[in-house]
């Protein structure tokens, strides 16, 4: 039974999915997104097919041109006949916003292309990270056969860092206007970026941003791929400029990861992270789902407010910090 009470023929959906029917992919994604009772079965059925796609996370400040870039990169992949999946998380403008103002014809081509699957998601994880379901949606796209999966997230401050647990290659997009912002974001960005993009380089200040990134990079702690120096690519996405260079840089990084064995290391690290996330999520859900927790929380808060006990004692009353023997 689905959450709406209707019987869902999961087997039929999975059969259609394995034959490449897009509608079944969309329905399976919805079931997983909504944490439907069928979700665990769906995920275990697709498990053997997950792990073939290359996942590219693309992050940067709101309005930097991420969607426009993804559109262009997807078109480039389609010219090579590679199937593409796109997940946009928390877009502040609709996914096609940039492209509608830009090249309407190209966007239409992408949207009507059966080799492209686009999904926008409005949800972030309740703990502030990328929703764990975002990564599951990427798993579904992967199993469906999308060779490339782009995950677009808005990154401000530290929030973009968790794209690392979702992607093989992380692309950080900056714009000439973000000159001052780099200082603020540098701790998070410098460590996670595999490829830098300075988009909107039709505007003044692009070269300054490139220089700033270069000087920050020289002092950065390297990730597991010590021999990879993140390239900095200037683009003007809405004019399609610099796209082939960016495309080449991403493909070079993919090749580098494969050739050095870093891909397997990264993926293993990511899976560990995701399993931990799930364990923690399950634990929290179990804890807060216990009967009477709400009223217990209420009385403990009142007791702390009245000065009758400390925060720690209150927390202990809800979940003992040490197992009782």
| Binding status of residue 300 toward Mg ion by CB under 5 A | no
Q: Which helix (H) or strand (E) holds 120?
A: strand 116-121
Integer Cα distance of 77 and 165 in angstroms: 23
Q: Of the listed pieces 20-28, 188-196, 231-239, 262-270, which binds ligand GTP according to CB under 6 A?
A: 231-239
Under rule CB under 6 A, which residues in 276-305 are in contact with ligand GTP?
A: none
Q: Which helix (H) or strand (E) holds 118?
A: strand 116-121
| Binding status of residue 87 toward ligand GTP by CB under 6 A | no
Give yes or no for a contact between 173 and 160, defined as CB atoms under 8 angstroms apart: no
Shortest CA distance to 248 belongs to which of 226, 233, 236?
233
- Cβ at position 68, least distance to ligand GTP in Å: 4
Integer Cα distance of 225 and 266 in angstroms: 9
- Give residue number: closest CB to ligand GTP: 98
CA distances from 93 to 6, 90, 149, 178, 198 (A): 34, 9, 20, 19, 20
Give yes or no for a contact between 218 and 212, defined as CB atoms under 8 angstroms apart: no
178 touches, from Mg ion, ligand GTP, none (C-beta below 5 to 8 Å by class) = none
| Binding status of residue 201 toward Mg ion by CB under 5 A | no
| Binding status of residue 235 toward Mg ion by CB under 5 A | no
**Which residue's CB is nearer to ligand GTP, number 57 or number 65?**
65
Q: Of the listed pieces 194-202, 213-221, 269-277, 309-317, which binds ligand GTP according to CB under 6 A?
A: 194-202
- Cβ at position 323, least distance to ligand GTP in Å: 45
**Could you give the string, one character per residue 133-162, with x where binding to ligand GTP holds by CB under 6 A and - elsewhere?**
---------------------x--------
| Binding status of residue 67 toward Mg ion by CB under 5 A | yes
Integer Cα distance of 115 and 78 in angstroms: 7
Look-up: residue for tokens 């792990």? 51
3-state secondary structure of 265: helix
| Binding status of residue 246 toward ligand GTP by CB under 6 A | no
**Which residue's CB is nearer to ligand GTP, number 14 or number 88?**
88
Q: Of the listed pieces 23-31, 44-52, 58-66, 182-190, which binds Mg ion according to CB under 5 A?
A: 58-66
CA distances from 129 to 134, 149, 234, 241 (A): 10, 19, 29, 33
Look-up: residue for tokens 């006949």? 81
| Binding status of residue 107 toward ligand GTP by CB under 6 A | no
Under rule CB under 5 A, which residues in 80-119 are in contact with Mg ion?
A: 91
**Which residue's CB is nearer to ligand GTP, number 24 or number 238?**
238
Q: Of the listed pieces 61-69, 143-151, 207-215, 270-278, which binds ligand GTP according to CB under 6 A?
A: 61-69
- Where b means 16+ CB within 10 Å and e means fewer, 203-242 reads eebbeebbebbeebbeeeeebebeebebbbbbbbbbebbb
- Kindly list the residues in this chain that would bind Mg ion in the complex (CB under 5 A): 66-67, 91
Interface ranges with ligand GTP (CB under 6 A): 62-68, 91-93, 97-98, 101-102, 154, 199-200, 202-203, 236-238
């Amino acid at each position: 039974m689905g959450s709406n009470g209707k019987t869902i023929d999961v087997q039929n959906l999975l059969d259609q999915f394995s034959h490449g029917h897009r509608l079944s992919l969309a329905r399976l994604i919805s079931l997983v997104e909504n944490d439907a009772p069928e979700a665990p079965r769906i995920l275990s059925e697709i498990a053997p097919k997950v792990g073939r796609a290359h996942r590219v996370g693309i992050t940067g400040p709101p309005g930097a041109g991420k969607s426009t870039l993804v559109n262009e990169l997807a078109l480039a992949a389609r010219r090579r006949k590679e199937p593409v999946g796109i997940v946009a998380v928390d877009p502040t403008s609709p996914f096609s916003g940039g492209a509608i103002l830009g090249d309407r014809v190209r966007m239409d081509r992408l949207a009507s292309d059966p080799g492209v699957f686009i999904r926008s998601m409005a949800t972030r994880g309740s703990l502030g990270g990328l929703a764990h379901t975002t990564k599951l949606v990427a798993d579904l796209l992967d199993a469906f056969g999308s060779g490339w999966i782009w995950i677009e997230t808005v990154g401000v401050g530290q929030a973009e860092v968790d794209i690392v647990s979702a992607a093989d290659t992380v692309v950080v997009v900056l714009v000439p206007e973000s000159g001052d912002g780099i200082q603020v974001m540098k701790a998070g960005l410098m460590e996670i970026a595999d490829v830098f993009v300075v988009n909107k380089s039709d505007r003044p200040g692009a070269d300054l941003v490139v220089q700033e990134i270069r000087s920050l990079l020289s002092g950065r702690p390297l990730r597991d791929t010590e021999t990879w120096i993140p390239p900095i690519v200037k683009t003007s996405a809405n004019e399609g400029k610099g796209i082939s260079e960016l495309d080449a840089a991403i493909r070079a990084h993919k090749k580098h990861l494969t050739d050095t064995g870093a891909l397997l290391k990264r993926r293993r690290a990511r899976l560990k992270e995701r399993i931990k996330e799930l364990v923690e999520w399950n634990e929290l859900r179990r804890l807060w789902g216990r009967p009477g927790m709400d009223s217990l929380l209420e009385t403990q808060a009142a007791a702390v407010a009245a000065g009758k006990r400390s925060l720690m004692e209150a927390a202990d009353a809800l979940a003992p910090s040490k197992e009782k023997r």
